[in-house]
């Protein structure tokens, strides 16, 4: 931190703060966390913090302010709920009053690794560990830079201990994530889950960048020795972070990227990996980060006496997380940029056990499955889930899409056509039967299939069209038993497979009715068939 007088926060309406900690680095923030008793330092150096009651995002508590500049562009509905400006202003006023007398932490950062699209962000929070979290996740300003020179286009005020009054403020509960596009301001309160900060930045970029000719994407990205870029789309639990962290390829980024006329670029400077039951054998790069000074671990079990971690323990949540800088991965791309992708991998964890483990998609099928965003929850992961449950999150990121999904789908189709990109659907879920009967696809086989797709080894093999799911299934794949490639042959009963496959196909068809009014007929026809 600079020794000169730092700017105050009056420009953000914050007055009378007890103390403002500006752009503290990791060692200084560790000291503050320890002083304030916000977390524990693990034996190998990581910082372990608890998020309390909220161990994941509060999607139903996120609102977009209805205002003239953006209202006609927003995809209003279940995902994007509106709140009027009067309620937003009242929450803002009370929040500013609450922050008086508080010790605050400020991080000045940027989103977007490509300097042509760099987006200045300022995060003001009452937790030291939240300040370290966002310092890890975004691109911090140069330590020698003058804070007065940082002009944030987006300001996030994060006050976990401030709670809304639903009757007074028009919120659903005491938790709120309020996004005001015209003011470039996000207010967060009532939840200590740090991921709300990160995803608020992503939401704003998803709104702004399409108008600049950039496709924002909820995906990871890596690059091969020959410069070939691959994108990995997938919801939580599908293996997106694991598969993109490949020691044979360099990591561009873990979770959020833009695709412009110049190529792919990371929105962030860090990774936010799911850690539950992380394996040092299968995921050595990510596992090593849990033993690093500077990593922030959320809700990971720790022995308070020995300070040893237990990554197997899900007693607090299945959604244990680690936030660390990309530089903690040995083979990362320092610039955060790459060329145009050669391959796109759409990941799903099919708990019904019927989708092929890998299949090639036509350009229209790629748009269909991108719009569908399918995966499945399994029994026990959520209260009340007793059997596999289909989950469809359009564009693999519905909660963060302010615009209609077809805006992003059309852009994907145009970019794929322009740059001759091959798309693949990879099922990291179950084989030999559904969850509870079959078994999870071994990660070694999934890695072999992905490597074969990216290397071109699947370019010359024969393909058959799956009669139900309407995708192209390769006849063979190096390093993978051929019987695994056709899930019907792995089931003990053909009729049971057929019934389950038709059931899932009907779920796809029913879900896609959401897009009937805007999706072109060719895309709709590229999906599963009700046979």
Active site members:
57, 199, 218, 236, 240-241, 255, 321
Q: How many CA atoms lie within 13 A of 426 on its CB side?
A: 31
CB 343 within 8 A of CB 422: yes
The answer to whether the CB of 371 falls within 8 A of the CB of 512 is yes
Please choose, from the candidates 176, 178, 167, 187, the residue with its C-alpha nearest in 3D space to the C-alpha of residue 64: 178
Rounded to whole angstroms, the Cα distance separating 442 from 490 reads: 14
Going by the DSSP 8-state scheme, the letter that residue 325 receives in this structure is E
| First-residue to last-residue Cα distance in the chain | 65
Q: Are 206 and 198 in contact (CB under 8 A)?
A: no
Cβ pair 270, 313 in contact under 8 A: no
As given in the structure block, the two tokens for residue 487 are 């899930």
Rounded CA separation 92/440 (Å): 47
Rounded CA-CA distance 20/105 in Å is 6
Distance of CA 378 to the CA centre of its chain: 20
Cα 101 to chain centroid distance, Å, stands at 35
Three-state DSSP at 234 gives: coil
């Amino acid at each position: 931190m600079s020794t000169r007088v730092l700017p105050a926060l009056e420009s953000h309406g914050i007055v009378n703060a007890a103390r403002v900690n500006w752009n503290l680095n990791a060692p200084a923030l560790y000291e503050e966390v320890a002083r304030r008793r916000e977390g524990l330092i693990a034996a190998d150096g990581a910082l372990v913090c608890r998020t309390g009651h909220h161990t994941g995002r509060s999607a139903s508590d996120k609102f977009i302010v209805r205002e003239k500049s953006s209202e006609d562009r927003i995809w209003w509905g279940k995902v994007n709920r509106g709140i009027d400006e009067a309620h937003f202003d009242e929450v803002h006023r009370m929040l500013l009053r609450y922050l008086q007398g508080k010790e605050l932490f400020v991080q000045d950062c940027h989103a977007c690794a490509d300097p042509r699209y760099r987006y200045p962000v300022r995060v003001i929070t009452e937790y030291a560990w939240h300040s370290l979290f966002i310092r890890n996740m975004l691109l911090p300003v140069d330590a020698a830079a003058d804070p007065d020179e940082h002009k944030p286009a987006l300001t996030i005020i994060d006050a976990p201990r401030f709670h809304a009054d639903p009757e007074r403020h028009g919120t659903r509960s005491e938790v709120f994530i309020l996004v005001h596009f015209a003011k470039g301001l996000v207010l967060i309160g009532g939840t200590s889950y740090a991921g709300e900060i990160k995803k608020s930045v992503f939401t704003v970029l998803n709104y702004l960048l399409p108008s600049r000719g950039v496709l924002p994407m909820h995906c990871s990205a890596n690059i091969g020795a020959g410069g070939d870029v691959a994108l990995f789309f997938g919801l939580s639990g599908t293996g997106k972070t694991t598969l993109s962290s490949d020691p044979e390829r360099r990591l561009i980024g873990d979770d959020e990227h833009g695709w412009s006329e110049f190529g792919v670029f990371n929105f962030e400077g860090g990774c936010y990996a799911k850690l539950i039951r992380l394996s040092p054998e299968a995921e050595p790069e990510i596992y090593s980060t849990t033993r690093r000074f500077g990593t922030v671990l959320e809700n990971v079990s720790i022995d308070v006496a020995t300070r040893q971690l237990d990554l197997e323990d899900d007693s607090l949540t299945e959604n244990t997380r680690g936030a660390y800088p990309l530089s903690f991965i040995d083979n990362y791309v320092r610039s955060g940029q790459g060329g145009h992708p050669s391959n796109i991998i759409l990941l799903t964890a099919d708990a019904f056990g019927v989708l092929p483990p890998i299949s090639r998609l036509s350009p229209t099928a790629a748009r269909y499955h991108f719009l569908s965003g399918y995966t499945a929850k399994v029994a026990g992961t959520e209260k009340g889930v007793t059997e596999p449950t289909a989950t469809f999150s359009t564009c693999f990121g519905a909660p963060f899409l302010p615009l209609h999904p077809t805006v992003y789908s059309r852009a994907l189709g145009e970019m794929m056509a322009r740059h001759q990109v091959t798309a693949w659907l990879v099922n990291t879920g179950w084989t030999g039967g559904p969850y509870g009967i079959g078994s999870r696809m071994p990660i070694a086989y999934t890695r072999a299939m992905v490597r074969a797709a990216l290397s071109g080894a699947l370019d010359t093999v024969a393909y058959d069209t799956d009669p139900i799911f309407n995708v192209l299934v390769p006849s063979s794949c190096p390093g993978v038993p051929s019987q695994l490639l056709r899930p019907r042959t792995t089931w003990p009963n053909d009729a049971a497979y057929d019934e389950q496959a038709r059931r899932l196909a009907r779920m796809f068809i029913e879900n896609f009715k959401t897009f009937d009014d805007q999706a072109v007929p060719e895309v709709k026809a590229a999906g599963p068939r009700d046979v």
